[in-house]
Amino acid sequence: MSSNLIFSRRAFAGAGLASAGLVLATGARAFQGKPLTAESPMGPFFPLDVPTDSDADLTWLKGHAKRASGQVIEITGRVLDQRGNPISGARLDLWQANAAGRYAHPSDVASAPLDPDFQGFASIVSDAKGDWRIVTIKPGGYDSPIGHRPPHIHFDIRGKTHRNVAQLYFAEEADANAKDLLYKGLGAEAPTSVAVRDAGNPGKYAWDIVLMG
Ligand SMILES: [Fe+2]
């Protein structure tokens, strides 16, 4: 999956001064851009085989008569650089547990039921304005070896020159998020991982992703 052109921001961490803001410093005035989206571990449940149906609507599998169980939600966002410019053509691979908190993955031995009608994975591309959109089921939380995980969606994002693996959390799960080991580990960067629910429509969320490029 790696490429000579794709660099992890974490790879720069040891370089200290090469943090995002300073890399972009120009002239006498340091560039203060949008905060980069926090990186998270990939976790154990990335699909072993990418499903043939991987479109932006995870709630319907091709050929199935029934929609996936659970609360249908829409998430829209943009992929941006730190100056707020859109990153078009960014590849977003995303995967998540179903409404019961179960991944369709052999490593997930939880007793929560699988949902045969849930896609669980999507691979989409940001458009010319950096916009992207998915329709999915709000994932359930689940117990894990590192404690209870709040609802979240994993994202592997590949921009033009940089890649990030992140997790999207839900703003209304603030209490559960605050107890989550991985969320807490993000420290001051944690807010960059939180999707905001539309005040007028609880089924709609917005989450922008900021990459170095
Ligand atoms: Fe997960």
User: Is 169 part of the annotated catalytic residue set?
Assistant: no
List 9, 102, 105, 152, catalytic entry: 152
User: How far is ligand 1, taken at its centre, from the CA of residue 17, in Å?
Assistant: 32
pLDDT tier, 22 (very low <50, low <70, confident <90, very high otherwise): very low
Would you say residue 18 has pLDDT above 80?
Answer: no
pTM recorded for the entire structure: 0.86
pLDDT tier, 50 (very low <50, low <70, confident <90, very high otherwise): confident
User: Is 205 part of the annotated catalytic residue set?
Assistant: no
User: How far is ligand 1, taken at its centre, from the CA of residue 68, in Å?
Assistant: 18
List 78, 154, 158, 162, catalytic entry: 154
User: How far is ligand 1, taken at its centre, from the CA of residue 29, in Å?
Assistant: 40
Question: Tell me: the pLDDT tens digits for 120-162?
Answer: 999 999 999 999 999 999 999 999 999 999 999 999 999 999 9
Give the pair of three-digit tokens for residue 59: 């709630």
At residue 144, the pLDDT reads 95
User: Is 105 part of the annotated catalytic residue set?
Assistant: no
List 9, 78, 105, 142, catalytic entry: 142
